[in-house]
Structure 1
């Protein structure tokens, strides 16, 4: 194979995207393996030979080969590197014996166009991980191992708790990484955070009870509580997290309190230790339950990791919820909740009524992924990557937007929040930016009206899914949108 031609062709497909040579080589080889251009079982050129052929440093070839091997695309042995038999390559239409139809129905073509348009709308969508960096080959291998162990008895709905292996793996991981106090009987596998919130609301409160949510805060929590008939009361957030006043406790004593303490969504503040302890004490005194959504806590970029509120003391009135959608990929649709021991039977009963567990292979594969150390390695890689992408966004903001926005949060997680200082509505700017295929969700859309409360006006900028080399141009486009709108307002 002419690797020089392969690399040149891949570079031309990147539309001017600038990449280091070692990264370009890795991506070109990865793409060729996935597409079947380099067949399974094919032996790659020796690193020294390929380096000479391409006129690049041997270390660059070593980097590409080592990364491909780490992700399961190639296998290294005494006789060189060979493309792994992973089942990932796509079948060629030439092998199917008949040409594909030339056209699709107008309805299907329209759906495909809509889907393709949505794929392009990434910057700066919050909560979207770096999907292009996910170790697909390793995950596929875990799935294949899982299916080899599945028999007919696993094909039913399964228990409401979730698969025991995954529950145990989640419990062990949370105890070490987040300081959560739990055993396997307290862990429930769910379809994600929304399911966890729905179950918690059904078990812990009755229609008409009060639920506190952060303001601004996660709209999914508001929707889950309102759907179960709860009265939602917004509680303000400041630089130290949720900040209820004595009047809140007297006038609107809550049954449920929803918090995102590790990285408040969307402002990015961290709930201080003093407030964490005070919230637990007040919740106990008022008979309230705290729902702790440990949103993107795995990605802290400044300072040491913070333990969960749930683990601060024994028998805290806390239901701890999390998801793998941010750390792995959204399509996985697996999350978890950790409940106090006395709630386990009630949670199990409710889970059995509203949600039939299944997808046993996915759960086994995830347990394998965690226990093998692949999950932790992936998180370490993503922390480094997201830190780089965060810095790229901060530099671009400083270069292009320093006079029109103020960064107000983002010591961790996958997004930055900025206050819009220009005399414009964040909703209007977001609408204009969307027309240029840039998503900048307005902070005001996360707010509920509250008396005498500051009006938030700004944007939530998700950077996890945005390559660092694309950030500056996108922020420059956002600057152009704001400038154009300011000039139109003044004219």
Structure 2
């Protein structure tokens, strides 16, 4: 056997920065795994192989010893022999790669594998990404520095599971003034993100197999939270006025709770009409259901006055209100909150105290200071102007270049809009993949379908908050080329 050729063959693709020892070890290991060095093969003595390859004997000794320790070789008085275990290891490796989910994941986890994953990319028109380049870093650093200077030793320990009172008070004050939410600080629970809030609701408010409703198309994160809690998720169709349950839905599938995004439906961007909001509240009361109102980007309203939250429309509404600072400030802050109805306050707070992590006092106190000093409202005003400017530019481009094949929906509020195709036969997921290949993140509306129920929306989600106006023409031109190829 020509070992020089063998080593050269199995050294291809290895990093040039690797040492001679590592290179030889990896090449011999690959040759054994792929069968070029079969079980029972006796390798050359270390001195002979070193001479043949023109390398130091210690290099060969190192490689042989590593392979012995890994189980690929065994040694006797006559030298080193390829182990039968190497063949078995190769087969096991193939099985693990092919069947890893079924071998390692629980059944409820396997059920989540079919759900799409929200992209963590921020390029192109990725939805949900704020204008991070315009965040007032200097002001935030100043607030953070001041917080750490004033932090006490006691505040380094485990904090109130509901969150720092100073932040809960600031949030309650802000929501009463800006969103019409009827609450006080005691009703506020701080979480580390909307996903955590949803998981808390899913596990605390429903048992395995209970029916819960979600808008169809709807937020994938909510689907994941509810499916992971093994709930029976039912999609309720969304039209131009938001979620539209039928009378027989309430009769045949009464839910434990209903998840809604009324101020800016995710993903279509539609606004839930006032009549539907009131009807939802009434039906929820009649059927003993709760409404989970996710108000994720309602701070940004581009047309008309801000719409009040469902939670404050009527007294003691059966609504849990969810909010987050990921959209208004920055995602890495990992601070969100939920507002509990008073009749759930005692039990939910007790549950949170038993099940939640406690800490991050400095970040919460810093955020409270940021709000109390007026920086939060100042930042919101700046972002409203900026996002409206970017929204206007994008809508004009879409209407001019793509108005004959698609319409814009959901552009009156929030940080994204939906581009809905006139021709329902256009494959929006194929369009989304083609856009991603060109560096544009634009999720397909159909990828947000819920369960087995069909939904009528076909198109793309386009986030504009983080896209400078000067970059939009080239991005829309790429989208235009992609979509016209699909028509």
Find the aligned partners of 2:456 and 2:310 in 1 and give their Cα distance.
28
Residue of structure 1 equivalent to 2:105:
none
For 1:104 and 1:322, how far apart are their aligned partners in 2?
A: 49
Deviation at 1:357, TM superposition (A): 2.3
Q: CA deviation at 1:119?
A: 9.4
Match of 2:431 in 1: 429
Name 2:440's counterpart in structure 1: 438
Contact 1:185 1:341 in 2 (8 A): no
SS of aligned partner of 1:208: coil
Cross-structure match for 1:391: 392
Does the 8 A contact of 2:284 with 2:318 survive in 1? yes
Aligned to 1:471: 472
In 2, distance between residues paired with 1:454 and 1:120?
Answer: 26
Cα distance in 2, alignment partners of residues 354 and 442 from structure 1: 36
Structure 1 residue 320 and structure 2 residue 318: aligned?
Answer: no
Give the whole-Å Cα distance in 2 for the aligned partners of 1:265 and 1:183.
28
Distance in 2 of aligned mates of 1:204 and 1:226:
14
Q: Which residue of 2 aligns with 1:210?
A: 211
1:389–1:463 CA contact under 8 A, matched in 2: yes
Q: Secondary structure at the match of 1:161?
A: coil
Where does residue 311 of structure 1 map in the other structure?
312
Does the 8 A contact of 1:257 with 1:288 survive in 2? Answer: yes
Give the Cα–Cα distance (whole angstroms) in 2 for the partners of residues 266 and 430 of structure 1. 14
8 Å contact kept, 2:217–2:455: no
TM-score scaled to structure 2, two decimals?
A: 0.74
What is the alpha-carbon distance in structure 1 between the residues aligned to residue 243 and residue 388 of structure 2? 25
Question: Structure 1: how far apart are the matches of 2:386 and 2:258?
Answer: 33
The DSSP-based 3-state class of the residue aligned with 1:387 is helix
Q: Cα deviation per residue 1:371-409 (whole Å; 9 max; x = unaligned)?
A: 111100100000000000001101111222122211122
Distance 1:198 1:121 in 2: 25
Question: Does structure 1 retain, via aligned residues, the 8 Å contact 2:215–2:260?
Answer: yes
Q: Say whether 1:274 aligns with 2:298.
A: no
Q: Give the count of matched residue pairs.
A: 371
SS of alignment partner, residue 322 of structure 2: strand
SS of residue matched to 1:381: helix
**Counterparts of 2:328 and 2:449, CA distance in 1:** 26
Cα-to-partner distance string for 1:6-53 (whole Å, 9 max, x where unaligned): xxxxxxxxxxxxxxxxxxxxxxxxxxxxxxxxxxxxxxxxxxxxxxxx
Q: How does 1:344-383 map to 2 (within 5 A)?
A: 344-383=345-384
Distance change in 2, residues 1:318/1:131 (3 Å): same
Runs of 5+ consecutive residues of structure 1 not aligned to the other structure? 1-102, 106-117, 487-491
Query: Are the equivalent residues in 1 in contact too, given 2:301–2:384 (CA < 8 A)?
Result: yes
- Following superposition, the deviation at residue 104 of structure 1 comes to 9.8
Which whole-Å deviations, capped at 9, do the CAs of 1:45-71 have from their partners, x for residues lacking one?
A: xxxxxxxxxxxxxxxxxxxxxxxxxxx
- Superposition pairs for residues 13-24 of structure 1, below 5 Å? none
- 1:284 is aligned to 285
Q: How high is the TM-score relative to the length of structure 1?
A: 0.73
Q: Is the 8 A contact 1:389 1:464 kept in 2?
A: yes
- Any conservation in 1 of the 2:217–2:267 contact (CA below 8 Å)? yes
Match in the other structure for 1:231: 232
Q: CA deviation at 1:285?
A: 0.6
SS at match of 1:307: coil
Contact 2:181 2:311 in 1 (8 A): yes
Equivalent residue number for residue 192 of structure 2:
191
Q: Give the whole-Å Cα distance in 2 for the aligned partners of 1:356 and 1:448.
A: 31
Report SS of the residue matched to 2:248.
helix
**Structure 1 pair 120/179, CA: closer, same or farther in 2 (3 Å)?**
closer
Counterparts of 1:354 and 1:124, CA distance in 2: 37
C-alpha contact 1:199 1:347 (8 A) present in aligned 2: no
Q: Distance in 2 between matches of 1:104 and 1:317?
A: 63
Contact 2:216–2:455 (CA<8 Å) still a contact in 1?
no
Mapping of residues 117-196 of structure 1, within 5 Å = 121-196=122-197
Counterpart for residue 400 of structure 1: 401
